[in-house]
Structures are given as C-alpha cells and as structure tokens.
Amino acid sequence: MCGIAGAISFSEDMRGDMKIYEKMQKAMIRRGPDQRGIVLTRDAALIHTRLAVIDISGGRQPMSCSVGEKKYTIVYNGELYNTQELRRKLEQDFELETDSDTEVVLKSYIKWGKNCVDRFNGIFAFAVYDEAERRVFLARDRIGVKPLFYYDTGNKLIFASELTVLMEHPDIPHEIDDTGAAELILMAPGRTPGCGVIRGIKEVMPGWCGFYSERGLRLEEYWRLRAYELNETFEQTADHVRELVLDSIKRQLISDVPVCTFLSGGLDSSLISSVAASEMKNQGKLLSTFSIDYRDNDKYFTKSHFQPNSDPEYIECMAEYLNTDHHWIIVDTPELVNTLDAAVEARGLPGMADVDASMLILCREIKKHGTVALSGECADEIFGGYPWYRDKDIRMTDGFPWAQSTFYRKSFLGESYRNRIDAEDYVYSAYRQTADDAVKLHTDSELEYRMREMTQLNFSWFMQNLLDRKDRMSMYSGLEVRVPFCDYRIAEYLYNVRWEYKDWQGQEKGLLREALKDWLPEKVLYRKKSPYPKTHNPEFLEAVTSRLREILEDRCSPLTELVSRKALERLLTHEDHVQWYGQLMNLPQTIAFFIQLDYWLKRFKIKLV
C-alpha cells in the first residue's frame, strides 16, 4: 500500500515545482513510510510514498518501463490478488524483472491498455503516464477501497490519494461553497459519490477509469453491479458463497510481511480470523488477532435494539477457539477525546467522531506488531446484515435508511446557507438518483426490486464511508488493511441472490452463516449482529460537551459562520436524541462531529464562499 500524487499539464513545464511536489509527498508520508520517489518530465510530476509489503526491494516507485521508443511510468496504491495468474499471461510478451504487483499492473496496461482493469482482482488506485502519447491513464478499483481525488484547473490535472495532499498544491483553493456546506451538514460523514467537499475537488468513482490528455479529462465506468437471472437452489448458492469467500480470504493472506486480523467477536471478522488461523497453522505460524474495548464499558454498557450485547465474551471465545496470539487495546476517555483532531488529519474531513478516533488508536497499536491486517468490512452491505435491510418499515421508507434526520440536520445550517440550500431536495435527489441507478430485472418482485435499490444505496454511500474510514485511519498509521468481503466476485454474485436465501431462517446474513458454519463455534455463529463498539462512558459526553462549549465561547471560531450557534447551544443541553448517522452517531458523536468540523476549518484554513 502506498500514497500516490501527481500533476499533469501540457501547457507548462512541470519540472520547475519540486518544492511543491516535496510538500505533497511529505503530506502523505504516513501512507508510505518505507520508501519515496518523484519523477519529473516536461508534462508530468509523479509522486510516491511506499508501504512495502510485496517484493520489498524490487517494488520501488515511480516505476518506469520502456517498450521500443515508448516509455511508461506508474504510481500505484493497492494490492492485486490475482498477480500470479496475470504474470503467467504477461510472461508471454515481457520479461518480468520483479515480483511486485506494481510491475504487473504497469505491464498489464502496456499490453491491454485501458482494458487491463477488467482483468484485475484487487484494491487499487493508480496513474500511468504514457510519455509518447502525452497522456495519463487513471483508474480506481471496482468497489472503491482505495481512494483517488483530483482537481482540474482547466490546463492542469492534480491528483492524490488524499484531500490533504491535494491541498498542499497552491493551485487548489481551500474553499467550500453551498455544495460543500450541504455535504458537511446534511450528508457527513458520508459524501455524495464523486464529491470531494472542497470546491473543485472531485473523486474518481469506484469502477471508473479514463485518460487525461491535451483534450482534457475523459472518465468512463468500466464496472458496476449488474442484474441477471440466477436459478440455483439454496444448497448450490451456499456452496458458491463458501467457495468465493474462502478463496478471497486465502488470496488476501499473501504477503512478504506479517499478517494479522481484526477480531470483534462478530460473524465477519471471526470468519476471516478462523480461515487465516487455519492457513497460518498449516505454515507452522500463529495468527495474531486484535480487538478494541473501552475503559469501564463493562460498567456502563446498556443493551439496545441495535447493540444487544457487548463484544468481549465473544472475542475471548474466538481467541480461545482459534488459539491466537490475542491483543486487547483498551481505550480510555481522555485518549479518545484527544484523538478526535488526529482523526480529522487522517480522514482529511470531519468524520464519525470517536468511531474514527478509536479506529485510529487501534490501527496505531496493530502497527507495532505487523504491517498487514484483514478486516470484515462490507459483509453487511453485500449479505444484507443491517437492520434497514430486514425491518420492513425502514426498508420501504423513501430515503436513506441510515439518515432519516434531514429536518433535524438542516436546523444546524447557518442562516444564510439555510436560505439558499433546499435541504430536503438536496438529500432526497441524491437518494433517488442512486436508487434509480440500481440495475433491475423486469421479472423482479417488489421485494427483490427494493433490495437491489437497498444494495446500491449501501454500496454507493454507507459502505464508501466505512471504507474511507478504514483506509484513512489505517494508512495514517502505516498499516495496510485488506477487506476480503470486498472481492468484486462476491459482490457481483450476491447482488443476484434472492433475498429469501440471504435472510435464511430469518437471521441476518443467514446465507453466510450457513455457508461457513464449519468455521465457527455455535456461540459466535449465531450471535445477533452488533455494530462497531462505541464508548458508553458518560465521561465522554461530558468531555465533548465541555470542549464544544469552549469553541462557542471563542467569538472568532469559524464554526459559527457555517453552523447555527443557536442549534449548537441547544445541542449542549442534551435534550436532542436524534441519530445523526444511524446507530453509529448519537448525541455524544454529534457533539464530537462539530468539534471535528471546527478543527478542520481552522487546521486547513477553509474559507466559506
């Protein structure tokens, strides 16, 4: 895994701005602390920082290759999980000089052009500069695990793995307009697909690629979820799921550095840990697993509909069942509050408050023991695990199921923004466009029709936010996190599996449980879904309340230029109990979000225009 950035122009010489490029490189050094490189040509500056995982000595970047009189240079962030299959095909035309997947990506592009992405199974964002053709090819993986932002000045394209890296370039204004304000108050911590929040910054969409040349930027979709008739019995479907999931996990265990797993005691991380432990045992190795909990959570935890039980007893069950080298990371309230700012630095935007901060703390600790970790993200989106898939009333509500709070959110818009932004239309239009974009079949029942919409909504919004969080918090810590359930083959197949199978025996992710039942003890196999753990310590609410009150006492704070002071003061009375972002963000997290927003505005000197 790595950080990539660059600037391309066909009207000015790009070799004269080394100090700018070095600043951009420095801003992403956490993504790649092991090696760094910059290549400059007349048209292009290509910048890289590397986290070395495969072929540590041979995978240096930027990497160049000459074929005849043509020269190609790549900057690449990602991992290919079908590297060996591609190597065998490429060896018919090229002599491969390294064992790195970077060389495989580069020579795949040279051999197959833009169609190379159709052959990749992996997570990636990359740019290939074709010196002879004077153009750059940009691509992002199908699911959107790896980020790729860009800014088009009209005669120059600037791109980077992260927003904070782009903002180091002087051509990019640190401004938010009405769209940015709407994203921050009405949509955050999610983002409209392709939107970078900062005025003019966009993101290459998952499953998109294209060229930047003298004719400008031309991007196109190369992959999306497709609907097709699937006529299999439940047993055949379970067999297929078992084969896909096991293959994905095993492929993603390949590494030249130590691999470990996240372990929450839930179905998804437990399955991955079980398969990983088995594979490592066959190699005579012991799997390291990592879990997070909060100081005094056993004292303050309260059951709820969304969080029926806490994690520790299930984690201990799995660690004992697998005989792993298990590590507990216990977070106390002061550390959690103090990490809110660092989480903004990592994400480049205000995010999910303590949910981000605790993940950053966890990743920091894991990095002390290893460089690669596997995580269970995205199984809920793909297999239908969330409450909004299974609760008929929530499922059929015409709007984002995790954010039924537009009326509440718009009360936080500053008066001038509230007068200019139609909050209901902004949110509903985004929802409707995504739902309508879901590919359906004319033979779909009303239920299956809606389930395709729900899957597309989750893919484009909720899942992207969780992937943003996992990528930024882990890479800020120099840790590569792989997500086996994000294998596009699993996503393609499950999109066409009937809901009756996914909800087998009336249990969330019933199909996944049945398909992989031999890998888990019953206690964990049939555990009811529980979301990512949050602190229940009342000290956290007290601490963030005090900090937001201090911000409001500062009459120069930029926060109240964007956000209604009256709404923030009401928030501090603790009378509001509206979910800001599903079960992940309640009152304490909402207060902490505005603390993060204030820090972000100050830290990056954001102007409101």
Closest C-alpha among 248, 211, 290, 244 to residue 79: 248
Cα gap 129→74, rounded to integer Å: 6
Q: Please give the helix or strand (H or E) that residue 488 lies within, else none.
A: helix 488-494
- Token match 């029926």: residue? 308
Residue 330 and residue 295 in contact, taking contact as beta carbons nearer than 8 Å: yes
78 Cβ contact partners less than 8 Å away, ≥ 6 residues apart: 1, 2, 101, 105, 122, 123, 124, 125, 126, 141, 145, 146
Among 2, 363, 378, 486, the one annotated catalytic: 2
Q: Give the CA dihedral 304, 306, 308, 312, nearest 10 degrees.
A: -120
Closest C-alpha among 589, 486, 577, 579 to residue 543: 589
Extended strands (E) in 131-187: 135-140, 149-152, 157-160, 175-176
Using a 10 angstrom Cβ sphere, with 0-12 exposed, 13-18 middle and 19 or more buried, the burial of residue 505 is exposed
132 Cβ contact partners less than 8 Å away, ≥ 6 residues apart: 69, 70, 71
3-state secondary structure 237-253: HHHHHHHHHHHHHHHCC
* Number of other CB atoms surrounding residue 68 within 10 Å: 6
Cα gap 439→453, rounded to integer Å: 8
Instruction: State yes or no: is 2 an active-site residue.
Output: yes
Cα gap 354→540, rounded to integer Å: 9
Cα gap 609→176, rounded to integer Å: 6
Within 306-413, where are the H helices?
312-322, 333-338, 340-347, 354-367, 379-383, 387-390, 392-395, 406-410
Residue-wise burial string across 158-181, b where 16 or more C-beta atoms lie within 10 A, e elsewhere:
bbbbbbbbbbbbeebeeebebebb
Q: Give the CA dihedral 299, 351, 219, 131, nearest 10 degrees.
A: -100
DSSP state of 556: T
Taking the alpha carbons of 549, 550, 553, 559 in that order, is the dihedral positive or negative?
negative
Cα gap 232→238, rounded to integer Å: 10
Alpha carbon separation from 79 to 59, 104, 525 (Å, rounded): 12, 11, 30
What is the set of active-site residues? 2
